Structure 1
Amino acid sequence: MRISDTDLRLLRVFQAVVRSGSFAAAQNALNVTLSAVSNHIAALKQRVGYRVCQRGRAGFRLTPQGESLFLYSEQLFTSIEEFQEKAKDLKGELSGELRIGVIDNTITDPSSHSRADAGQDRRAGRRGTGFHHQRGFARIARKAS
């Protein structure tokens, strides 16, 4: 099976239905009509050649093939995201997550080395952040412009 943009769209709708647990909930998540969701799932069924889910009075549930397709689609979209990040890296653009953690007492604690270092920066005529890693691995200081 060759994957087209339409197939990707159908798989994204399928993922939304599975994550939401119903067609109606997926309708709200995707901001489309219920018939649009139903049409996409019917088109996906036709495209792959088997039923991916069952719905009725008992509710929504995946067929065994649908469970496998869902797992494979998750892998596909994860691979696409990784590809996009790596392609951006080649271009030199920053991508990915940046997580910053701050411990509140580091700057406000009078006995902290970083607070003492900040005073040294000011006495030396340099404006800076006043943050110096205790072991000297990092020094962040802005010089006066």
Structure 2
Amino acid sequence: MARLFTIVSTDMTIEVIKGFERMANSRQPQMPMDGVTLGTYVRSRREGLGISQRQLAKRVGLSHSYLGRLEANDFAQPGPAALYRIAEALDLEPENLFALAGHTVPEELPSFEPYLRAKYQMSDQAAQELSDYFQFMAERHNIAERPSPRADNHQEQS
């Protein structure tokens, strides 16, 4: 089996190995090959910071019972919004939690307008004007998009 990536934090190292399989409709996730689960990772980090489940729940706007169930691995795939808030509160990389939860982590950044909409609260008109202005500046200063990592990998394999 091939190692996909390694997550390193101050108190543990997790290797994610190809071969973790989960049924799409399963309420109970299957144990990954290395025995580290999302719940174990979150609990370890929370306890390492000296934060109770109730304190973390209050910080992220979730119920303490939800966090308890998440740490007990009762959810097959917790939602990205909750994982993102937990990651921020525990000073973790959200991508690591997404990967442990079985969410696909994109390899590329979004284009400019979707990024603006995700990052900032703004009207459609404001997003369009910023996007148009960026396009104007990109042409004026000869700014080009970098090739995606997928394109580089595909060219190397050819």
Higher radius of gyration, 1 or 2: 1
- Under a length normalisation based on structure 2, what TM-score does the superposition of the two structures give? 0.21
Higher RCO (Cα < 8 Å, 6 or more apart):
2
Identify the structure with the greater helix proportion. Answer: 1
